[in-house]
Structure 1
């Protein structure tokens, strides 16, 4: 199969199904073996429940400030899948995407790669083709069977682990942490954010079994006066985790650690949809909080900023356990909550059912356009949260908000 243009490739990708999963590593391992390029660049593997995208963005920006050419693989995307693979923070052209897809399918024509696996393979090929000095690879789901877990990392980074994707990874923190802990390597190096005790115990035990040196963020000297562009105390914690990871990487790779470049990298890093404030016809707060840990961080920052949204537009996936987040969600506003549908998303919670589950204060809207049309003139501050796919629908209509705002 040869893709002549990006339209053809996009149609093929859509046919694979965004949410089709097959939790095994055989296809990826076969590609990596045939491809033979896994030792072309060092890899920092970012694994966890919350903060993976932000931590990856900080790491990318810090490494770029130090003069490295950095390939970054993240998920999900908002408007185009090209957001998932960048070199020095810049998306690749549609033409290059077609070339990458063709290279992957030539290398593994019978592999039957899933949507996420194909993009992971394309990222690896892109990074080799572009001669990156470092690849920052964000895990998609879990660790043990994640497609990104087929490339041996130079460093594994664990962001905070909490309850999420319980139907896939397990119903308890211990089971979820055990899945993610399998991203560590024998005699490897890893660093972890502050974890709840259950997760911390599991990570430490698995590291001991593997002879992997597991550092905690407190083991490594922080850098003072970090000023992330992203709001929230949890973002300062994500930034310090990235700094700790960068310090370990420098020690392993021989790159000189420069605190001033670290500060500038943190200040320049940006990722959309993380407590993002945008002023348009009204003030929108855009946040991908979708589990109890993320909602706690969102609530804390809104309280700290003395912000009470006039209305909330919320959506989530139908496999979410709404129990832990329902009370927090309703507490965040004295106004209405709009349960919003997400078009063309088979995993989205049906919006009418979602409204019924959340309670009598909740209205239902079929899609983001309908939800925005339901806002009153007095609704000056609107929180849009719950799913990055809901935010994607918003960004599709307002793509300018995907970019970092100009500095004052």
Structure 2
């Protein structure tokens, strides 16, 4: 037994390095080969740039309305890695995490799994151990070499594809879409959200090469009166994508498609940090927008709802192209933009440099505590955005807002 308790496991996980990547599937394939549980449950694989977490949340909630036992694998986490693997929306105990991690280590002792690969393997083991009826698995980054791409899905779901992680996936929409398109399977089934023309063309071309039946959400009649629990016009699109995906899954799994259950499900889905409005002495708008596509959606929703933040706390990773985001930030508020550091995050943009790049209306703060202390008493509404790791620092301070 490698891990005696969750603290020991957490230390091991930290030592692997959250951002360490090795773009190949050899280690995962070795684990899956040895594990032998690949056919234990059907899988819906959610791939894309924006909306993966929300769409996964809606699918999980819809399946729960059907009385199914659902395992969900998402990323990243905010406060604890236990958020990434849930059964019917609930985290597993620290003890169960240790047990599952030890099972993975026994199955592939010398595989050298990375941080994300280890958690993906643990999700598969957890779902088999808990005898789930369905697994909803969100891709971490890309599609071609993502650890989740070693499990043959019953359905692949593509959320909107945009520019993100360009240094890893490629500098154009075409290259990024080509990477994600490799999540499709030969003679498989897939459904896509409305995509920009370049991404749509790539997905269609790859589907034709694989003989994969690719549906567009445009081809499905929408489910009337969908009222997603998450805020924003873009969430209506994510909810309709989940509804369309569920319709396809029902056909494959021989389940009756029930619009009422779908409405109930999307009305109950929850994921923190997606245009989440909370009150902690002042109103905070928490949003994980960290690329141009997501910032466009954030700006549109703030305009639609008449919200204008008095100040913004912003952080991002050092590889971020700040030009388009910078313009949006200063349109969103007439007040200051606080460039915030993220402690113990080697990829974070150094806060002093970030403030210098953002310009004269920007202020620098070492971390979230300093940023919040810098707010004026008149700053009644504050937007915190730019990085999920920044939100994680906020949730560490206010963990009560991680739940619905």
TM-score, length basis structure 2 = 1.00
Q: In structure 2, what is the equivalent of residue 322 of structure 1?
A: 322
1:174 matched residue in structure 2: 174
Look up the match of 1:262.
262
Once the two structures are TM-superposed, the CA of residue 10 in structure 1 deviates from its matched residue by 0.4
Structure-2 residue corresponding to 1:94 = 94
Structure 1: which 5+ residue stretches go unaligned? none
Q: CA RMSD in A?
A: 0.5
Deviation digits for residues 263-322 of structure 1 (CA, Å, limit 9, x no counterpart): 111001010000000012000000000000000000000000011000000000111111
Match of 2:217 in 1: 217
Inter-partner Cα distance in structure 2 for 1:57 and 1:229: 10
Map of 1:300-319 to 2, 5 A cutoff? 300-319=300-319
* Aligned-partner SS, 2:61: helix
Deviates more, 1:254-263 or 1:285-294: 254-263
How far did residue 94 of structure 1 move? 0.4
Cα distance per residue 1:49-78 (max 9 Å; x no partner) = 000000000000000001110000000000
The corresponding residue for 1:395 is 395
Partner of 1:150: 150
Could you tell me how far apart the structure 1 residues matched to 2:304 and 2:30 are?
A: 50
**CA distance in 2 between partners of 1:196 and 1:353 (Å):** 33
Distance 2:357 2:96 in 1: 45
Distance 2:137 2:265 in 1: 18
Q: Could you tell me which residue of structure 2 aligns to residue 114 of structure 1?
A: 114
Q: Matches of 2:190 and 2:370 in 1, distance apart?
A: 46
Q: Secondary structure at the match of 1:278?
A: strand
Alignment partner, residue 105 of structure 1: 105
Encode CA deviations 1:216-248: one digit per residue, 9 max, x unaligned. 001122111111111100001000000000000
Residue 363 (structure 2) pairs with residue 363 (structure 1): yes
User: What SS class does the counterpart of residue 281 from structure 2 fall into?
Assistant: coil
Unaligned runs of 5+ in 2: none
Displacement over 2 Å in runs of 4+ = none
Query: Given the alignment of the two structures, is residue 187 of structure 1 paired with residue 190 of structure 2, yes or no?
Result: no
- Within the alignment, does 1:377 sit opposite 2:377 as a pair? yes
Indicate the SS of the match to 1:378.
coil
Q: Which residue of 2 aligns with 1:51?
A: 51
Deviates more, 1:215-224 or 1:186-195: 215-224
SS of the equivalent of 1:72 reads strand
- Please report the TM-score for the alignment, with normalisation by the length of structure 1: 0.99
Q: How far, CA to CA, are the matches of 2:330 and 2:356 in structure 1?
A: 13
Number of residue-to-residue matches in the alignment: 404
Q: Distance in 2 between matches of 1:388 and 1:117?
A: 20
| Partner-residue secondary structure (3-state), 2:86 | strand
Structure 1 distance, partners of 2:249, 2:345, is 39
